Amino acid sequence: MMVVEGLRVEKGDFVMEDVSFSVGREYCVIFGPSGVGKTVLLETLAGLHTPTEGRIIVDGEDITYLPPEKRRFGFVYQDYQLFPHMTVKENVLYPTRFSSRKKGRKRLFDEIVEFLGIKNLLDRKPLTLSGGEQQRVALARALMVEPRLMLLDEPLSALDPLLHEEVLRMLSRVQREMDIPFVHVTHNQEEALFVADRVVFMEGGRVVFEGSPERLFKSPTTEFLANFVGVRNVFSGVIKEKEGKTAVIKVGEEEIRATVGEKTLLERKGEVKVSVHPSYIFVSKEPVKTSARNSFYGTIRFVRQKRDLVEVGVETPGKLLLVANITHGSMEEMGLREGDGVYVHFKATSVNVF
């Protein structure tokens, strides 16, 4: 297990600070837009940058100032950095030149080559390989150090989009079967959510979210994060009153009910942000009995066809525009069109207040 506590790193004018998160034997993805410090963080974990504050602890050992070669981390760069003049076999074996761990090296090599399906590539040079093949060779080389943690920097950026899913499945399988913590940096949201057990989202040199992919959508911690992951329904409001564990939040001329804890209610003074992911909003043509604490009647202002779903924008009489995701089948069954009147419902537990 790796625990990162309060890291601060200065690189020219850029400062990464107060970075804390943990990774067990799982697939952790660090993501966010370009320029927020994802690669700086990954290289700091690898020992290529020295933090001015904070600690990096792996399996109980403080490795903050340990040289890179003594950390026993695997590292796969976005361009793989294979040696073009060496064969695949020579590339995979290259890290063992600097290791004192000679025992069982051939057995480990045979196992990794077989596991990654590159046995038939051993005598070829990297420039004769496809992007997917180069990816597997780079991963095999990283595994030859018998890493206690694997670092991957934008590992799919050089691949044809058609190969993305195939390689992501391969990486996920390697992580599970090798039982090694993976830390994977990307700016691609779909890539992150495809493989992640844990998500770390960075914004402005800081970690602003850590948790499961599911919680990322339900409980974003900043307005930027909510917009980045496509929550769509993000509003400014004021907590008006509380009803038990439910807060009544005034948003424009409407009221939204959100389930929050007592402490949360006491902390939130004045204006708050409210978000509801479109997938949590139910649309119906007729009134329905529901346990949802939020129900509105409104007018469809737009219908947008997407690849896997349909976005429906419904405006309430109080000028609250709610975007819902529905299936193409539901769209056809209800025959929804712009200008139609519909009902929208969502639970208080689906509302995030931040």
282-299 pLDDT tens trace: 999 988 888 899 999 999
pTM of the entire structure?
0.82
Q: State the pairing for strand pair 14-23/27-31.
A: unpaired
Q: Are residues 102 and 219 in the same domain?
A: yes
State the Cα–Cα distance between residues 268 and 52, nearest whole angstrom.
34
Q: How many domains does the chain have?
A: 2
- Phi then psi dihedrals of residue 125, to 5 deg: -95, 150
Strand order in the sheet with 294-305: 282-284, 341-346, 294-305, 310-315, 321-326
267: pLDDT strictly greater than 60: no
CATH code of residue 7? 3.40.50.300
Same domain, 63 and 113: yes
CA 132 – CA 186 distance, rounded (Å): 17
- pLDDT tens profile 47-57: 999 999 999 99
Last residue of a domain, one of 180, 207, 223: 223
pLDDT of res. 225:
92
3-state secondary structure of 288: coil
Tell me: do 197 and 251 sit in the same domain. no
CB 153 within 8 A of CB 145: no
**166-170 contacts: CB < 8 A, separation 24 or more?**
166/132, 167/132, 167/135, 168/194, 168/195, 170/116, 170/135, 170/136
Q: Which residues form the domain of 48? A: 2-223
Residues 250 and 132 in one domain: no
Q: Looking at the structure, tell me whether residues 133 and 10 fall in a common domain.
A: yes
**Do 186 and 40 have their domain in common?**
yes
Pairwise CA distance, residues 206 & 162, whole Å: 32
131-143 vs 164-178: helix axis angle to the nearest 10?
20
SS3 for 225? helix
Q: Which residues lie closer than 8 Å to 14 by C-beta, 6 or more apart?
A: 37, 40, 205
Is the pLDDT reported for residue 12 higher than 70? Answer: yes
Is there a single domain that holds both residue 110 and residue 213?
yes
The answer to whether residues 58 and 5 touch, using CB atoms and an 8 Å cutoff, is: no
pLDDT in tens, 320-347: 999 999 999 999 999 999 999 999 999 9
pLDDT at 29: 96
Pair 149, 196 in one domain: yes
**Sign of the alpha-carbon dihedral angle for 139, 140, 144, 147:** positive
Quickly state the pLDDT bin for 65 (edges 50, 70, 90): very high
For residues 189 and 262, state if they share a domain: no
- Domain CATH code at residue 262: 2.40.50.100
- 218 & 241 share domain: no
Contact assessment for residue 41 and residue 18, using Cβ atoms and an 8 Å cutoff: no
Same domain, 83 and 201: yes
Q: Of 189, 223, 257, which residue is a domain's last?
A: 223
Query: Do 281 and 237 share a structural domain?
Result: yes
Rounded Cα distance between 300 and 164, Å, is 36
